Chain A
């Protein structure tokens, strides 16, 4: 039996503000528990919310980047439920009149090429506190520093058809939100969280079947794992004659299993009603236009431009535009005079590898990388030697040429000197010389490698090959 999976993601994204959504408490991550709290975010009687204008602006930018219709008037509503990490007993959210609706997000699916998923709605709300389940033997610890941090909830349509596709969607969404700078989207810190609605249906069916909601997914890898486990559970259940019931499942990463969540309350009725302490959120056309003009070039547009302007392949352009800092860095290297493809090659390999080992810092200044590339192009440095120079510049700074000279890496283009190394190498590898002369010409790479080794990377490899060819032909 062929099964099709239907997935829709609800993504919660903490907005990058200094203060909380409805009070002046700090949003800084990592402070000692319950030190960033006040009467408003603790829900103490009589405290009144005051909306953070910057959070509203960032939410509007997110909506515009997703192509949503931003509504001139939206309403905050109380979503009522009881849980210890929600001291007010309700969350200020938006319900029937959200900030924005009807957007799209295009991404590359591992199975279906480019997919355009719908964004049903995007609304503003406040975060709840954090429950710490494993700190105390007989109780649960509650930290309310997170209570009231501004969030947007992005509700995606049921357009995703596999766990891998859900992961690709989420990575593209994260990339977009990071580009526009509205969130750091760090799943480990909880600034990007995702819940997934999952159902399965037989191939060819068009109606949606009963879905479950999977929560507690804390990393991109877990998105795929959790949804795979839940999909397989539903298929096995149906194939054994059972039926899927609508419920919330929690993903247990340690066991790679999903389990029904203990219900937070008896009823799923959140008894939404308009927040009486907040008048409607009214956005002027000028405010929305201001947010639009604050948006940078979006990743897809940048990728297309890199393909057109720098003649990069789509794959290379995708890597180089993977995040805004890398894309800006690449363009700075090109602007400093590097040939675009060579710059892409260096950024994709050495620069990103070095950044990966050093907290994502691009440690070599764009101008210095352009110089390294120029030294290779001009025949002053071999590629291998240039990598060493890059490493030194990354670690200690300095001018690439000076470092190359100090390390004795300037390429030797003197034919007599290179011929000396070639003679030594051929003398030391008589059996290989014999095989070469018997037609095993692929050994040329071996000889060039040996000359490079003998010269400690200083020989010009092209010159070395020419001298090798001459000497091997002459003595044959």
Chain B
């Protein structure tokens, strides 16, 4: 296996995921398969003659600076869990520790 059990646990910790013990073996196998596949891709020549396939244009197209807002299908007050006086309201955020 290219990926160890400890590495999977570490990745889960960084991603803030609670991974159960019984799921570990499957995850180790799946992630190893991904890594092995990517390793195979390394065998493809990657010199300047091979241009990677990128969907869409290869450079940003510049939009004109005009105010052309896209209307919302319905207002924020209709989809916000809590909306008062024009504001989305979320649980109180402390600024300081």
Other-chain residue from B56, B62, B90 in contact with A142 (beta carbon distance below 8 A): B90
Size of the B side of the interface (Cβ < 8 Å), in residues, is 36
Other-chain residue from B60, B70, B84, B93 in contact with A40 (beta carbon distance below 8 A): B70
A135 close to B87 (CB less than 8 A): yes
A131 close to B69 (CB less than 8 A): no
Q: Tell me the B residues contacting A by CB distance below 8 Å.
A: 14, 16, 54, 56-72, 76, 82, 84-97
Q: Does A143 contact B (CB under 8 A)?
A: yes
Q: Does A36 contact B (CB under 8 A)?
A: yes
Other-chain residue from A18, A25, A50, A267 in contact with B14 (beta carbon distance below 8 A): A267
A142 close to B88 (CB less than 8 A): yes
Q: Does A181 contact B (CB under 8 A)?
A: no
Other-chain residue from A35, A53, A131, A135 in contact with B65 (beta carbon distance below 8 A): A53
B60 close to A252 (CB less than 8 A): no
Could you give 9 example pairs across A and B, Cβ below 8 Å?
A24-B63, A24-B66, A133-B95, A139-B92, A140-B91, A141-B85, A141-B87, A142-B89, A279-B59
B63 to A: closest C-beta gap in Å: 4
Q: A18-B66, A55-B65, A279-B58 are in contact. Are A262 and B94 (CB under 8 A)?
A: yes
B11 to A: closest C-beta gap in Å: 12
Which residues of B have CB within 8 Å of A55? 65
Which residues of B have CB within 8 Å of A259? 96-97
CA distance A93 to B55 in the complex (A): 21
Q: Does A444 contact B (CB under 8 A)?
A: no
CA distance A144 to B75 in the complex (A): 13
Which residues of A have CB within 8 Å of B71? 38
CA distance A280 to B59 in the complex (A): 5
Q: A18-B66, A38-B71, A52-B62 are in contact. Are A139 and B95 (CB under 8 A)?
A: no
Q: Does A250 contact B (CB under 8 A)?
A: yes
Q: Does A417 contact B (CB under 8 A)?
A: no
A24 close to B88 (CB less than 8 A): no
Q: Tell me the A residues contacting B by CB distance below 8 Å.
A: 17-19, 23-26, 32-40, 42, 50-56, 76, 84, 131-133, 135-136, 138-144, 216, 250, 252, 259-263, 266-267, 269, 278-282
Among B86, B88, B95, max chain A CB count under 10 A is at B88
CA distance A140 to B90 in the complex (A): 5
CA distance A36 to B72 in the complex (A): 10
Which residues of A have CB within 8 Å of B67? 18-19, 24-26
CA distance A39 to B82 in the complex (A): 18
A51 close to B76 (CB less than 8 A): no
CA distance A138 to B85 in the complex (A): 14
B93 close to A17 (CB less than 8 A): no
Other than A36-B69, A84-B90, A262-B96, give 16 A-B pairs with Cβ distance below 8 A: A19-B68, A24-B68, A51-B62, A52-B63, A53-B64, A84-B88, A136-B92, A139-B90, A259-B96, A260-B97, A262-B94, A266-B16, A267-B14, A278-B60, A279-B60, A282-B59
B94 to A: closest C-beta gap in Å: 5
B14 close to A269 (CB less than 8 A): yes
